[in-house]
Amino acid sequence: MVMKYYSAALDGLCTQEQLDLLNSIDTLRSQGISHFVSLPQIIVCGDQSSGKSSVLEAISGVSFPVRSNLCTRFPTELVLRKDPTVGVRVSIVPHHSRSEAEQKSLSTFCEELDGFDGLSQLVENAKAAMGISTHGKAFSNDILRVEISGPDRPHLTIVDLPGLIHSETKQQSAADVQLVQSVVQMYMKEPRSIILAVVSAKNDYANQIVLRLARDADDSGQRTLGVITKPDTLVMGSESERMFISLAKNEDVKFRLGWHALRNMDSDQGTSSLADRDSVEREFFANGAWGEMPPSLVGIDSLRIRLSKLLLRQIAAELPSLIEEIQIKKDNCRQQLENLGQPRVTLDEQKSYLLNISQSYQRLVKAAVDGTYNETFFSAVHSTTGRQKRMRAVIQNLNEEFAECLMRRGHRREIIEKEAEKKAEKGQLLITRDTYMLHIQGLIKQTRGRELPGTFNPMIVNELFLEQCAPWKDITLDHVLNTWEAAQVFLLDVIRYISDEATSVVLFDELISPELDELRRNLEKRTRELLAPHHKGHPITYNHYFTETLQSIRASRQRARLSSTMRNFFGVDDLSGSYVLNGSYRLDDLLQSLVSLTEPDMTRLASAEALDCMLAYYKVALKRFIDDVAVEVIELNLVQSLSSILSPVKVFEMPSELVTRIAGESKENRALRDQLNRKLQVLAKGLETCRQFVGSQSINPDKSGMSKVFSSFHRTPPDSVISVDNGDELECDVDDSCSERSTISAPPPVSPGYEEADARPVSRLELLVDEPAEFDAITPPALYHY
C-alpha cells in the first residue's frame, strides 16, 4: 500500500537549490564516496521490535515486509526523492569484509520496479542474495539500498539499522547480538550522522539499549533526536503515560534535538492503509494528555518536515568540513599515485621511473646532510620518525654523545684521591695515585734499559698509554655502528617516501642495502686505521698543548706539596685566607723546608714523571682522535658517501635485468593504480559537486514553506513557546522576513548576549533559520574560507 502526500504542501519544504543539494549528496553516495568519507545522513536506531520499521514505513509512505516475527536483518538505506516518474530501485552495497567474489556478486544485484506493489518481493530477493534465508544467516552488515521516487515523495535519506538485541535466543546467537551492536555503534559514531533513537512506550525507556549507545556515541546529545513509538499502549492517566510525556517534552533524557512521538500501526494491522494510519494518529494526538503536546512534536506529518529540515541543515552545516576532508583524501590519493609513478611496462619507462626516483633521492639526501629541512619530507619534527629524517642533526648529536662518552669512559684507570671516592664507569678501574705508582714501578723494573736512576725508559709512556686507551676501540666501533644504523633508517625513509611500497622494498634490498653493507665495512676499516697509531705505534706529538699540560700537572702536584709545608710551618689550616701572625719566624727555615722536598726513591720519582707524561699525552691524543673519527670516518666516509648510493649515473649504468627487477610494476601495483585512479575520480567529482553550493543562494529551509505544510495538514503552525532545555525558550512563530534573506551560512553557536549584528559572514553558506530548538541544533562554525 502506498500513501500519497499533500504534494503542494511538500513543495514548500525545499527550494530547487536545496533539492539540488540533497540530490548531489545522494549522487555522491551512489558513486561510492561514502566508502572514503562520512556523509551527512539520518540513521534510525532502536531495540528490537521498538517500531523502527513502522517509523520508516510511515515516513516513506511505502509498506515494507514488517511482521511480528521478522525484524530488520541488515542496514537499509532508504532514499526518497520527488520525481515526476514513479519508480523503485533496489541494490546491495556489500560490506568490505566480504570476499572479492562475494562483493562482485552482490554488487551486480540491482532490480527496478515501475510501482510499489512488488517491493516486498524485491527485499526478499535481496535477503536471499545476502544469504540470510538460504544459509541460515540471521543478520548481515551488507547495506540494502532502496531508492523510491515519485511526484509525492519527500526529499529524504534515512538509514534503518537492525534492532538491538538484549540477549541471545534460539534464532539469534551471541555472535548475532554482537554483530548487530557493532554495526549500530559504527553508524552512530560517524560524526555527520543524525541519530534517530526510537524508544517503544511498551517498555521502560531506562532499560532500552539504544539510549545508552546513543549517549556513548553522542555524549552531549547534539545530534540525537528521540522518537517515542506505541504511546497508545499506555494506560490513560497512568504514571507511565506521564513519564513518557515528560520524556517527549525533553524533560528527562535530554537531547539537543529534542523528542518526537508517533502512533504507528501494529504489525497485526498491516492490512490497513497508510492513510488510515495517519487519520488514527491525528485523532490520537488530538485527545487526552497527548493532546496538550505542541503539534510540531507529535505525528508523522511534522516528523517528515522536521527530518527534512534536519538533514538539510546537517548537510549545509557539514559541507565546509566535508569539502576539507575530501580535499585531504584527494591529496593523499594523488600523492600515492605520484609515488607509484607512471605506468611502467617497457624498459625505457622503468628506467625513466628510476631516474626520477634517483633525482628525488639526491635532493632529499643533500637537504638532509646540509641541514636545510624545508621539504615536506622533514615535517613532524616532534615525532621520533620526523627527527630521524633530519640527518645532519642526527650526526651532530651522535658525534657529541661519542665525544662525551669517550672523555668520560675512554680511560681504563680513573685516578682518585682516596678509596670509595666515586663510582666507576662501565669497564673502568678506580685507583689511587699511590697504587697506580706502585703498578708503574713494576713496569719500570721490567723494562729497565741503560737509563740512569730516577729516569725511565720512554717505552714506559707507550705501555701506560696502551693500557689507558684500551676502551677506545669498543666505544668508537659502537659509535660508528650507531651512526651507520641511523643512516640506514634515514635512507629507508627516503626510499619509502619517493617510491611506492613494492618498488621501495626491491630497491632497498637489491641496491641500497648492499651498498650500505659495503659502506659499513669501509667505516670499520677506516676506524681501525685511525686506532692503529694509538694501539701499535709509539707516542708522537708536536702539539705545544702536551708540554703545557705536562707542566700544569707537575705544577699542580708541586703546589699541593708546598701548600702542605707552609700550613705546617705557620700552623694554619688554609692558605686562602688572611692571617695576623704573632711571634717570630725564621724565613731561612721556611726556605729550607721548601727546598728539602725531594724524593729519595729514584724508582718512585721516575714512575711519577712517567705517569705525568702519559696523562698529558693522553689528553692530546684523545682530542685528536675524537676529531679524526668525526671527520675521517663519519663525515668523509659515511655522510659524503650517501648521495652516491643512488644517482642518475648509477641508474643509467644499471643492467637491464636489475632495472626491471626493481622498477617493473607488479600485478598488485597495477591493481592499486586502477583503484587509486577510481578513488581519485570519485573524490574529484565529489569535491566539484560540493563546491558548487559553497556560494549558493537560498539553501535555506524556508519558514513560510513550513507554515503552508502545517496549514495543508489542517494543523496550527507552532506559534507557542516550547520549553526545550532547562528553561531555554525559543519562539516558534514564523518570521516572513526570513525568506528575504538570500545569503546562506552556518550561524555561530548561540550564547547569552549574542546579537546577529556581531556575526561576520565570510562564506555565503549560512543557515538563517529561526526554528524551534529541534531545528536549531546542528550549529556549525561561523566562518569558513575557501
Q: 317-350: per-residue pLDDT in tens?
A: 888 888 888 899 899 888 888 877 777 878 888 8
| CA-based nearest residue to 262, from 3, 53, 14 | 53
Set of cell numbers at residue 75: 542496514
**DSSP string covering 284-335:** HHTSTGGGGS-GGGBSHHHHHHHHHHHHHHHHHHHHHHHHHHHHHHHHHHHH
Torsional sign, CA 186, 189, 194, 200: positive
Above pLDDT 70, what percent of the chain?
Answer: 77
Q: Which of 89-103, 122-136, 431-445, 663-677 has the lowest mean pLDDT?
A: 122-136
Q: Is the pLDDT of residue 293 over 60?
A: yes
Q: Is the pLDDT of residue 210 over 90?
A: yes
What φ, ψ does residue 601 adopt, rounded to 5°? -85, 110
> How would you class 600 by CB atoms within 10 Å of its CB: exposed for 0-12, middle for 13-18, buried for 19 or more?
exposed
Highest mean predicted confidence (pLDDT) among 32-36, 123-127, 569-573, 758-762: 123-127
Q: In this predicted model, what pLDDT tens digit does every residue of 538-563 receive, in sequence order?
A: 788 887 877 887 777 777 777 777 77
Which is higher by pLDDT, 226 or 87? 226
CB-based contacts of 439: which residues, under 8 Å, 6+ apart?
431
Q: In this predicted model, what pLDDT tens digit does every residue of 712-766 receive, in sequence order?
A: 333 334 333 333 343 333 333 333 333 333 333 333 333 333 333 333 333 333 3
| CA-based nearest residue to 693, from 733, 745, 734, 647 | 745
What φ, ψ does residue 229 adopt, rounded to 5°? -115, 165
Highest mean predicted confidence (pLDDT) among 157-171, 275-289, 401-415, 455-469: 401-415
Where are the domains positioned within the chain?
A: 376-574+584-652, 703-712+723-775
Buried b (16+ CB within 10 A) or exposed e, 394-428: bbeebbeebbebbeebbbbbbebeeeeeeeeeeeb
Which is higher by pLDDT, 507 or 766? 507
3-state helix, strand, coil in the chain (%, to 5): 55, 10, 35
Give the pLDDT score at 82. 73
Which is higher by pLDDT, 737 or 259? 259
Are the C-beta atoms of residues 3 and 275 closer than 8 Å to each other? yes
As a whole number, mean pLDDT of residues 100-119 equals 79
| CA-based nearest residue to 163, from 40, 284, 70 | 70
As a whole number, mean pLDDT of residues 584-610 equals 72
Residue 190 CA to residue 194 CA, distance in Å, equals: 9
Set of cell numbers at residue 156: 529524504
Work out the mean pLDDT of the chain and round it to a whole number: 77
As a whole number, mean pLDDT of residues 498-525 equals 92
Spell out the SS3 assignment of 123-182: HHHHHHHHCCCCCCCCCCCCEEEEEEEECCCCCEEEEECCCECCCCCCCCCHHHHHHHHH
Highest mean predicted confidence (pLDDT) among 521-530, 566-575, 577-586: 521-530
Helix (H, G, I), strand (E, B) or coil at 578: coil
Are the C-beta atoms of residues 734 and 706 closer than 8 Å to each other? yes
Above pLDDT 90, what percent of the chain?
Answer: 27
pLDDT-derived band at 138, boundaries 50, 70, 90? low
Q: Is the pLDDT of residue 629 over 90?
A: yes
Place of cell 661519542: 402
As a whole number, mean pLDDT of residues 666-670 equals 74
Q: What is the dihedral of CA 449, 455, 459, 461, to 10 degrees?
A: 160
Give the pLDDT score at 609. 84
